[in-house]
Chain A
Amino acid sequence: MKLRLTSDAMRLLIPALSMTVLLAAVFWLQPRAMSYFGLNLLLNLAVPIALATIAQMLVMAVNDLDLSIGAFVSFVACVTATFLRDAPLIGTLILAGAVGVYALIGVVIYLRNLPSIVVTLGMSFVWAGLAVLMLPAPGGQAPDWVRWLMTVKPPLMPMAIVASIVIAIVAHLIVMRSSLGVLIRGVGGNQRSVERAGWSIIAARAAAYGLAGLFAVAAGIALVGLTTSADANIALRYTLLSIAGVILGGGEFTGGRVSPIGAVIGALTLTLAGSFLSFLRISPDWQIGAQGAILIIVLALRLVFNRVEKRGARP
Chain B
Amino acid sequence: MTIRKMLMASVAVACAAMPVSALADTADKKIALSNNYAGNSWRQAMLTSWEKVTGEAVTAGVVAAADPFTTAENQATEQAAQIQNMILQGYDAIVINAASPTALNGAVKEACDAGVTVVSFDGIVTEPCAWRIAVDFKEMGRSQVEYLSGKLPDGGNLLEIRGLAGVFVDDEISAGIHEGVAQFPQFKIAGSVHGDWAQDVAQKAVAGILPSLPEIVGVVTQGGDGYGAAQAIAATDREMPIIVMGNREDELKWWKEQKDANGYETMSVSIAPGVSTLAFWVAQQILDGKDVSKDLVVPFLRIDQDNLEENLANTQAGGVANVEYSQEDAIKVIEAAK
A140 at the interface (CB under 8 A from B): yes
Please provide the chain A residues from 71 to 101 with a CB less than 8 Å away from any CB of chain B in the complex: none
A138 at the interface (CB under 8 A from B): yes
Q: Which of A117-125, A182-190, A281-289 contacts B (4 or more CB under 8 A)?
A: A281-289
Q: Which of B48-56, B97-105, B131-139, B321-329 contacts A (4 or more CB under 8 A)?
A: B97-105
B89 at the interface (CB under 8 A from A): yes
B-contact 0/1 string along A95-127, CB 8 Å cutoff: 000000000000000000000000000000000
A33 at the interface (CB under 8 A from B): yes
Q: Which residue of A lies closest to B87 (CB)?
A: A41
Q: How far is the CB of A197 from chain B (nearest CB, A)?
A: 42
Q: How far is the CB of A3 from chain B (nearest CB, A)?
A: 37
Instruction: State whether A42 touches B88 (Cβ < 8 A).
Output: yes
Residue of A30, A226, A228, A237 near B88 (CB, 8 A) is A30
Inter-chain CA distance A87–B82, complex, in Å, is 33
B263 at the interface (CB under 8 A from A): no
- Highest count of chain B CB atoms <10 Å: which of A42, A44, A229, A236: A229
B81: A residues at CB distance < 8 A: 45, 271, 274-275, 278
Instruction: State whether A237 touches B84 (Cβ < 8 A).
Output: no
Q: How far is the CB of A304 from chain B (nearest CB, A)?
A: 28
State whether A237 and B105 are in contact (beta carbons under 8 Å apart), knowing that A41-B84, A284-B71 are contacts in the complex: no
Inter-chain CA distance A228–B104, complex, in Å, is 8
B257 at the interface (CB under 8 A from A): no
Instruction: State whether A234 touches B38 (Cβ < 8 A).
Output: no
Residue total for B at the interface (Cβ-Cβ under 8 A): 34
B84: A residues at CB distance < 8 A: 41-42, 44-45
Inter-chain CA distance A225–B106, complex, in Å, is 8
Instruction: State whether B85 touches A279 (Cβ < 8 A).
Output: yes
A50 at the interface (CB under 8 A from B): no
Residue of B70, B71, B73, B106 near A227 (CB, 8 A) is B106
Q: Which residue of B lies closest to A274 (CB)?
A: B81
Instruction: State whether A138 touches B100 (Cβ < 8 A).
Output: yes
B78: A residues at CB distance < 8 A: 237, 274
Instruction: State whether B126 touches A237 (Cβ < 8 A).
Output: no
A229: B residues at CB distance < 8 A: 102-103, 105, 126
Instruction: State whether A227 touches B104 (Cβ < 8 A).
Output: yes
Instruction: State whether A231 touches B75 (Cβ < 8 A).
Output: no
B168: A residues at CB distance < 8 A: 137
State whether A138 and B101 are in contact (beta carbons under 8 Å apart), knowing that A234-B77, A237-B77, A288-B73 are contacts in the complex: yes
Please provide the chain A residues from 129 to 162 with a CB less than 8 Å away from any CB of chain B in the complex: 137-140, 150
B73: A residues at CB distance < 8 A: 237, 288
Instruction: State whether A139 touches B77 (Cβ < 8 A).
Output: no
Instruction: State whether A284 touches B72 (Cβ < 8 A).
Output: yes
Inter-chain CA distance A216–B282, complex, in Å, is 41
Inter-chain CA distance A119–B73, complex, in Å, is 26
Inter-chain CA distance A234–B81, complex, in Å, is 13
A255 at the interface (CB under 8 A from B): no
Q: Which residue of A lies closest to B69 (CB)?
A: A278
Instruction: State whether A234 touches B76 (Cβ < 8 A).
Output: yes
Residue of B89, B102, B109, B127 near A139 (CB, 8 A) is B102
Residue of A41, A287, A291 near B110 (CB, 8 A) is A41
B90 at the interface (CB under 8 A from A): yes
A58 at the interface (CB under 8 A from B): no
A279: B residues at CB distance < 8 A: 85, 89
B89: A residues at CB distance < 8 A: 30, 32, 279
B205 at the interface (CB under 8 A from A): no
Please name 17 further chain A to chain B contacts, defined as beta carbons within 8 Å, in addition to the given A41-B88, A42-B88, A227-B104, sorted by A numbering: A38-B88, A41-B110, A138-B101, A138-B103, A139-B102, A225-B106, A226-B107, A228-B102, A230-B103, A231-B76, A231-B102, A234-B76, A237-B77, A275-B81, A275-B85, A278-B85, A288-B73
